[in-house]
Amino acid sequence: MRKDRISVKPKKRIALVLATAFSLVGIMGAGAGAAEQHEQSPQAREAQTSIVLGEPYHLYNRSAHLFMIAKGWNTSENGILDLWYQHRTDSARLQEQWEFLPTGLSGVLRIKNVGSGLCLEPNNQDALRHVVQRQCDRGERAQWWWVDKDEGLRIAPYNNANRVMNPYQVAYPSRDIVLNKDVDSLSQRWSAIPVE
């Protein structure tokens, strides 16, 4: 009888050891997968800050993981921008897409809404400094933006590089896009994701 117990115990131990080992491998594998989702490879980070001029992009806020749209998917001049979380699939989807256009200066670009054909410009008459859409090439250098790589894309008006595009107060859906002093926050950085 004692022999049975001895022979059973090692089998149970082996089974427990194997079960524990497989469980740990599963947990570590899941942890690695989660880490991969949160920690991007240098190539993925580079791809989100590399821009091909004239190609359409979604601009994602690095803090909120929401994308910039023409508010209410509008196509009107002086229309403001905000953040949203769900892409449209109808013709309004073009108001979620942005093209970067050259100005002739290195690192300085125009940003054009694919759907409306309007370019981004700071509204200097507005106390909150909203970023609005206006007819392209209207106003000398008012539609020029510094687009620098700094933990994502840092987008600042050409005429005032101390201010950057970011959501008003908090990076939540339906928050207007305004210009604020650059405090090196992720809410003030953007990822350019190519439209597929």
Q: What is the 3-state secondary structure (H, E, C) of 75-130?
A: CCCCCEEEEECCCCCCHHHHHHCEEEEECCCCCEEEEEECCCCEEEEECCCCCCCE
21 and 70 part of one domain: no
Given this model, what pLDDT does residue 1 score?
Answer: 41
pLDDT of 186 over the 80 cut: yes
pLDDT of 167 over the 90 cut: no
Ranking 32-46, 138-152, 159-173 by mean pLDDT, the lowest is 32-46
78 and 152 part of one domain: yes
CATH assignment of the domain containing 138: 2.80.10.50
Residue 161's domain comprises 51-194
Nearest one of 167, 144, 134 to 59, comparing CA atoms: 167
Q: Which of 80 and 3 is assigned the larger pLDDT?
A: 80
Give the whole-angstrom CA distance, residue 109 versus residue 146: 7
90 and 27 part of one domain: no
Counting residues of the chain whose pLDDT is more than 70, the rounded percentage is 72
Q: Which of 22 and 75 is assigned the larger pLDDT?
A: 75
59 and 132 part of one domain: yes
13 and 68 part of one domain: no
Q: Confidence class of residue 48 from pLDDT cuts 50, 70 and 90?
A: low
Counting residues of the chain whose pLDDT is more than 90, the rounded percentage is 48
Give the whole-angstrom CA distance, residue 11 versus residue 108: 70
Q: Give the Cβ contact number of residue 49 at 10 Å.
A: 18
Give the whole-angstrom CA distance, residue 148 versus residue 1: 77
Given this model, what pLDDT does residue 139 score?
Answer: 61
Domain count, the chain: 2
140 and 106 part of one domain: yes
Whether this model's pTM surpasses 0.85: no
Provide mean pLDDT across the span 116-122.
Answer: 95
All residues at 6 or more sequence positions from 67 whose CB lies less than 8 Å from its CB, including other chains: 58, 59, 60, 61, 83, 84, 85, 87, 96, 193
Mean pLDDT, all residues of the chain: 78
pLDDT of 166 over the 50 cut: yes
